[in-house]
Structure 1
Amino acid sequence: MMTCFDIGGSAIKAAISTPDGEVTPFARIATPLDDFEAFVASLADLRRQGGAGEGGVALSITGVVDPANDVLTCANIPCIDGRRLGPELAERLGVPVHVANDADCFALAEAVKGAGRGHRIVFGIIIGTGIGGGLVIDGRILTGAGGFAGEWGHGPAVASEAGDPPVAIPRFACGCGQKGCVDTVGGARGLERLHRHLTGAEIASTEIIAAWLAGDAGAARTVDCQVDLVASPLALAINITGADILPVGGGLSSVPELIAKLDQAVRQRILRRTTRPLLVRSLLAPEPGLIGAALLAHQGEQR
């Protein structure tokens, strides 16, 4: 048995898992953001609560782990940013510790046990507050240099105009330091940013989606532009990776009409012609991070 954690900027979720990725969640606590000792103590206490004994620990975490040196980049949990989190926790907890990006864990879970099961190349994508992704080939996460494989949301890839008729789109500044990233126009915050630019209205993404589904012309214009802007970079990612299915997670994955619209636009832009949907809703909500962490840790112990 192993203790798995899904760690975000607001909460830590804990579960006991079996090697085949079956998880039993048992606790949820607030994430200590600024105190590393409190962070370690929280994980140790949760391990004791779960009763995993000498079993190892697996973490699905917001942030990126550099496979060359195990250093974690995690801006929204300052106390662990820049640390060799896996080795440090292993020393403090006295058990093996496996750490991976939450989008990678999502992709692995969906590839092995979810919507991507039976497919060789699975590109799991997150369309939530922002844009993320993870690439799984033959049941293994592709980490890549710096740990950034699958990050299709970043890089200056967004077109300068979108929609029909076309409208100019600014190169919005991104939190990664670049301008024109898919993350600036994709996801919930991107939808709100586009709607504000196109209409001047400051409303939540949920309201924009509801208005679009109700037939509102302004909201429809915003959604059309977002799909136009996001579909081309995503199609390029598919052409490069050869992915044949893309499980979609995140808040906006709960809007089937939006995913279907994006899927159609993507399939019109890729080299391979297929009538089968490529973008499909994930099957493992609400715990793909915990499931992916368990599977990843088991793979690590088999090596």
Structure 2
Amino acid sequence: MILCFDIGGTTIKGALAYSTEDIRLLPRVTTPKDDFTAFVGVLRQAVEDCETKPECVSISIAGVVDEDNGWATVANIPCIHGRDLKADLEVELGLPVIVANDADCFVMAEAGIGAGKGHRVVFGVILGTGVGGGLVIDGKLINANGGFAGEWGHAPVAATQAGNPPAHIPPFRCGCGLHGCIDATCSARGLEKLHELLHQEEKSSQQIIDLWCAGDEKATRTIDVEVDLLASPLALVVNVTGASIVPVGGGLSNSQELLSALDEAVRSRVLRKISRPLVVKAQCAIEPGLVGAAVLGLASLSD
């Protein structure tokens, strides 16, 4: 049995994982964001409450672990930001600890028991507040020791002309400090910025999608530009990785119509000709961070 956590800036979700088919949720706890002692105390209490001692602790965080030095970049939880989180928690808890990015846990969940099950190369995509991703090959996470692989949302590669007819798209500033990232242009907030740029009106991402599905001309233009901006970078990722399936999670993935449009556009731009859907909705809709942490932790026991 392993103890797994999905740690966010607001709450810590926990579960006991006996197998990928037997994951038992624990009560949620408020995240102590500014007090490392209290933060460790929450995890230690969960360990002590286990009827049998866990074999390891597996953690999903909304941040990145630097594979060179082990330092965690977790902007929304100051007390663990800049720490060698794995090493520090192993000392505090007296157990082996695995720490992984939440997008990596998402793709592990999809590759293990979700839409990617049975596929050798799975590239998981997050389309929500941000644009992220993760890569699993032969059941192994590329970022097993931390790292930035899969972060296709961050690089100044967003097209400056998109849609039919082409619209000029300025390189929006991204939260990572660069300009012209897919994250800044095609996330939920990016979709809203695109709509305002094209039509000088403010709409939420959900409103834009709903209007598009209803045949609204302005929303249809916005989605045409959005899909065009997303499809080429994602097709390049598929060509580079050889992914045979691309499960998508995040808020924008709730629109099957949007995923279908993106799938059609991506398949028209990849070298490999695929007649079946390639870009698909993720199947692990409930607690993918916890499920991914469980899959990652259980896999480590058999290595």
Which deviations, in whole Å up to 9, do the C-alpha atoms of 1:243-278 show, x marking residues without a partner?
A: 010011111111100000000010111111111110
Secondary structure in structure 2 of the residue aligned to 1:134: strand
Secondary structure in structure 1 of the residue aligned to 2:6: strand
**1:85 paired residue number:** 85
CA–CA distance in structure 2, aligned partners of residues 153 and 122 of structure 1: 17
TM norm structure 2: 0.95
Mark the CA change 1:293 to 1:61 in structure 2 (over 3 Å): closer, same or farther.
Answer: same
- Note the C-alpha offset of 1:69: 2.4
Map 1:46-57 onto structure 2 (within 5 A).
Answer: 46-57=46-57
Matched, 1:258 2:258: yes
Secondary structure in structure 2 of the residue aligned to 1:147: coil
**1:201 paired residue number:** 201
- Note the C-alpha offset of 1:179: 0.7
Mark the CA change 1:273 to 1:88 in structure 2 (over 3 Å): closer, same or farther.
Answer: same
CA–CA distance in structure 1, aligned partners of residues 274 and 2 of structure 2: 41
Whether the 8 Å CA contact 1:134–1:149 is kept in 2: the answer is: yes
The percent identity for this pair of structures is: 54
Aligned residue pair count? 303
CA–CA distance in structure 2, aligned partners of residues 54 and 238 of structure 1: 37
CA–CA distance in structure 1, aligned partners of residues 269 and 147 of structure 2: 28
**1:14 paired residue number:** 14
Say which is worse superposed, 50-59 or 212-221, in terms of deviation.
50-59
Secondary structure in structure 1 of the residue aligned to 2:79: helix
Q: Tell me, which stretches of 5 or more residues in structure 2 are unaligned?
A: none
Whether the 8 Å CA contact 2:20–2:113 is kept in 1: the answer is: no
- Note the C-alpha offset of 1:284: 1.3
Mark the CA change 1:50 to 1:189 in structure 2 (over 3 Å): closer, same or farther.
Answer: farther
- Note the C-alpha offset of 1:48: 3.4
**2:99 paired residue number:** 99
Mark the CA change 1:49 to 1:221 in structure 2 (over 3 Å): closer, same or farther.
Answer: farther
Whether the 8 Å CA contact 1:104–1:133 is kept in 2: the answer is: yes
Secondary structure in structure 2 of the residue aligned to 1:156: coil
- Note the C-alpha offset of 1:6: 0.7
4+ aligned runs moved over 6 Å, structure 1: none
CA–CA distance in structure 1, aligned partners of residues 49 and 217 of structure 2: 53
**1:238 paired residue number:** 238
Which deviations, in whole Å up to 9, do the C-alpha atoms of 1:8-66 show, x marking residues without a partner?
A: 22221111111446311121122222221221112222333454534321101111112
Whether the 8 Å CA contact 1:125–1:131 is kept in 2: the answer is: yes
Secondary structure in structure 1 of the residue aligned to 2:135: strand
Matched, 1:67 2:31: no
**2:26 paired residue number:** 26
Whether the 8 Å CA contact 1:131–1:182 is kept in 2: the answer is: yes
Say which is worse superposed, 293-302 or 199-208, in terms of deviation.
293-302
Amino acid across the alignment from 2:10: S
Whether the 8 Å CA contact 1:26–1:50 is kept in 2: the answer is: no
Whether the 8 Å CA contact 1:16–1:52 is kept in 2: the answer is: no
Whether the 8 Å CA contact 1:22–1:291 is kept in 2: the answer is: no
Mark the CA change 1:52 to 1:72 in structure 2 (over 3 Å): closer, same or farther.
Answer: farther
CA–CA distance in structure 2, aligned partners of residues 236 and 69 of structure 1: 30
Whether the 8 Å CA contact 1:116–1:122 is kept in 2: the answer is: yes
**1:58 paired residue number:** 58
**2:130 paired residue number:** 130
TM norm structure 1: 0.95
Mark the CA change 1:76 to 1:173 in structure 2 (over 3 Å): closer, same or farther.
Answer: same
Secondary structure in structure 2 of the residue aligned to 1:16: strand
Mark the CA change 1:50 to 1:146 in structure 2 (over 3 Å): closer, same or farther.
Answer: closer
Secondary structure in structure 2 of the residue aligned to 1:221: helix
**1:148 paired residue number:** 148
- Note the C-alpha offset of 1:215: 1.3
Map 1:270-281 onto structure 2 (within 5 A).
Answer: 270-281=270-281
**1:111 paired residue number:** 111
**1:216 paired residue number:** 216
Whether the 8 Å CA contact 1:15–1:50 is kept in 2: the answer is: no
**1:174 paired residue number:** 174
Amino acid across the alignment from 2:112: V
Q: Tell me, which stretches of 5 or more residues in structure 1 are unaligned?
A: none
Mark the CA change 1:21 to 1:140 in structure 2 (over 3 Å): closer, same or farther.
Answer: farther
